[in-house]
Structure 1
Amino acid sequence: MAILVDQPRWPAHGTVWAHLVSDRSLEELHRFARANGLPPRSFDLDHYDVPAERLESLVAAGAELVPGRELVARLRASGLRVRASDRLQEKHRRLTADLALRWAALAARTPAGRMGPDRDRRDVREVRAAAPASTEWVDAGAELLRRWDEPHRHYHDLTHLDDVLQHLDVLRADGEAVPVTAELAAWFHDAVYDLVPGADEQRSAELARERLSDLGAGPATVAEVERLVMLTASHAPARGDAAGAALCDADLAILASSPRRYARYSAAVRAEYAGVPDEDFRRGRSAVLGGLLAHEHIFATASGRARWETPARENLRRELALLDRPHD
């Protein structure tokens, strides 16, 4: 085994952090991380960020404690090192590739149905076998990824899509009901994004209906995805709407992120509305935040409330206070 960890030296989020790497392969690194309960989101292209309190247990599990310079030198010699100048481009490439794989995997889980008489009559089976995704399915995913990667998106982008999908995974792991329709709706919920609330959701729902129908999804599946996409306009699922609750909670989970990441999120939202005068933006944003805080619960699932309710309210109050400050 060639798993290396250096001394924790980098402060963030109330602790100090070390780097965990392999000087052999990323596969080996990921296996070690999974075996020791490191969250996937702590992986950063060529290393895992690990808090100081995990150092002892990782060394006991077989990681070799080495000086930082040695860790970097051995990582560079392995060919796995990602240079600082390449990190943004490499992150984008890997994120796009990971999302494409995730979309392809949805093909086998999407209930199929017969084409309507006005549709192209391809051979669509009643039950889709667990086979590789069709060319048409892959092409639809590529279109969605292009839409999510449009240059005017600063928050509602590929990272947001990935976040929503990963938050659905968290809710599922907690025992919440997360049907395939919720995942499909996550892919489509901001696929059309022209900064026109209500109209964007409507056009995204229409896109979902067109693409999924053409791909052979069953009518009930198509209708449910349409409904779920429209629900993200209000984030107000009805009692008993498990799929809607999961999707809305996953979409809003960014509100409960660390203060540093929340600051990046709010700045990205402002960047999307760069053409709106400051006073108008503060007024509109304050109304949105105040409306969320006025709800008895921001999150609809039991897991979402347990995980995200308290930090989300703290972040919202903090941002609202900043918006309410006098500005010259």
Structure 2
Amino acid sequence: MILIDPPMWPAHGTRFSHLVSDHTLAELHRFAAAAGLAERAFDGDHYDVPEERHGQLVRLGAAPVSAGELIRRLRNSGLRLPARARPERVQAVLTSRWQNLMPGQPGLGAELLDRWSEPHRRYHTGTHLLDVLTALDQLCTPSPPPAVTALAAWYHDAVYTGASGADEQASAELAAHTLPATGLPPDDIAEVVRLVLLTRSHSPASGDTPGALLCDADLAVLGRDSAGYARYLQQVRAEYAHVNEPDWRTGRSAVAKHLLALQPLFHSTVGAARWESTARRNLERELHALAGGGTPVSSP
């Protein structure tokens, strides 16, 4: 259900309501698009709505509830975004990480962060980038990840339109175009490009340690607990809110089958130990729900 609380949150000379769904993010984005709300009004788990739009949205079908009720139902749905995952917090952490990785290159870092913050993104956001970088840390502990591999993580979804294969190609081309100005050696740039392209298949060759690290970090989301995996599915479905349900189920089933067919799914020793069994269990449950007409994007 679409819910809206009273306009009571002051900002920019007016008061704002919060518009949410207690069912799926895809439902929320479809309603917002139909109502003409700008994508930039979305803030992780809700749309900020100025006071003058409140009555119109209620007439369009949003159920008016108290602020407390809205938060309670959002939390119970599993769609409440934790404070640590708020865009402003993620942005600050990523800015610090970029400074450590590429000191003296703040302009390029800002350009990449702008790309990761594009309003049409729902899963492939700065939060996903930070999750990949964090997973790289876990895979490489106690040593830091190789700088070139971390740089490939920054570029691997820098271009995202939802076109599988084409996005990775465009992201690799972006790296090839922008990195020479940083003074990075040509061999390192070529390695960043190779690693970004490898995320199309997530199938590094035997002995390709950098490829295994990046692919495992990119797929670490599959090994989340059930609540985390449900949120991941919510976000991916929201990126394809324009796709009808039957087509979504067909396409997503193909993705799940492809991932389950990867042998192994995780190529590093640490990645396999951390995520393999849980990831396969999550994918099998998702595939079963998709085949049975259930709702695999619902929170447990």
Q: TM-score, normalised by structure 2?
A: 0.68
How many pairs were matched up?
A: 216
Letter aligned with residue 105 of structure 1: N
Listed one character per residue, the Cα deviations across residues 240-299 of structure 1 (whole Å, up to 9, x for unaligned) are 100000000000000000100100101110110111121111111111111211223110
Deviation at 1:174?
6.4
Q: Which residue of structure 2 lines up, in the alignment, with residue 235 of structure 1? A: 202
Listed one character per residue, the Cα deviations across residues 132-170 of structure 1 (whole Å, up to 9, x for unaligned) are x22xx1011011111101111111001100000000000
For 2:160 and 2:206, locate their aligned partners in 1 and report how far apart those are by CA, in whole Å.
Answer: 28
Aligned match for 2:266, one of 288, 294, 299 = 299
Q: Which residue of structure 1 lines up, in the alignment, with residue 119 of structure 2? A: 151
SS in 2 for 1:217: coil
For 1:296 and 1:267, locate their aligned partners in 2 and report how far apart those are by CA, in whole Å.
Answer: 26
Aligned match for 1:199, one of 166, 172, 194 = 166
Q: Which residue of structure 1 lines up, in the alignment, with residue 106 of structure 2? A: 138
Distance 1:169 1:88, change over 3 A: closer
For 2:246 and 2:267, locate their aligned partners in 1 and report how far apart those are by CA, in whole Å.
Answer: 32
Q: Which residue of structure 2 lines up, in the alignment, with residue 274 of structure 1? A: 241
Aligned match for 1:162, one of 118, 130, 137 = 130
For 1:260 and 1:87, locate their aligned partners in 2 and report how far apart those are by CA, in whole Å.
Answer: 13
Q: Which residue of structure 1 lines up, in the alignment, with residue 95 of structure 2? A: 100
For 1:326 and 1:96, locate their aligned partners in 2 and report how far apart those are by CA, in whole Å.
Answer: 38
SS in 1 for 2:127: helix
For 1:240 and 1:198, locate their aligned partners in 2 and report how far apart those are by CA, in whole Å.
Answer: 24
Aligned match for 1:312, one of 249, 274, 279 = 279
For 2:262 and 2:117, locate their aligned partners in 1 and report how far apart those are by CA, in whole Å.
Answer: 32
Distance 1:141 1:311, change over 3 A: same
Deviation at 1:325?
1.2
For 1:90 and 1:301, locate their aligned partners in 2 and report how far apart those are by CA, in whole Å.
Answer: 27
Deviation at 1:321?
1.0
For 1:327 and 1:97, locate their aligned partners in 2 and report how far apart those are by CA, in whole Å.
Answer: 38
For 1:90 and 1:179, locate their aligned partners in 2 and report how far apart those are by CA, in whole Å.
Answer: 25
Distance 1:90 1:254, change over 3 A: closer
Deviation at 1:87?
7.4
Q: Which residue of structure 2 lines up, in the alignment, with residue 180 of structure 1? A: 147
Deviation at 1:190?
0.2
Q: 1:178–1:243: 8 Å Cα contact kept in structure 2?
A: no
Deviation at 1:180?
1.3
Q: 1:148–1:191: 8 Å Cα contact kept in structure 2?
A: yes
For 1:268 and 1:94, locate their aligned partners in 2 and report how far apart those are by CA, in whole Å.
Answer: 19
Distance 1:90 1:261, change over 3 A: closer
Q: Which residue of structure 2 lines up, in the alignment, with residue 214 of structure 1? A: 181
Deviation at 1:90?
8.9
Aligned match for 1:91, one of 72, 86, 91 = 86
Deviation at 1:209?
1.1
Asked which structure has the greater RCO (Cα within 8 Å, sep 6+), the reply is 2
Q: 1:174–1:303: 8 Å Cα contact kept in structure 2?
A: no
Q: Which residue of structure 1 lines up, in the alignment, with residue 36 of structure 2? A: none
Q: 1:184–1:225: 8 Å Cα contact kept in structure 2?
A: yes
For 1:190 and 1:90, locate their aligned partners in 2 and report how far apart those are by CA, in whole Å.
Answer: 18
For 1:90 and 1:167, locate their aligned partners in 2 and report how far apart those are by CA, in whole Å.
Answer: 15
Gaps of 5+ in 1: 1-85, 108-132
Letter aligned with residue 153 of structure 1: R
Higher radius of gyration, 1 or 2: 1
Letter aligned with residue 141 of structure 2: A
Deviation at 1:92?
2.3
Q: 1:104–1:138: 8 Å Cα contact kept in structure 2?
A: yes
Distance 1:102 1:241, change over 3 A: same
Q: TM-score, normalised by structure 1?
A: 0.63
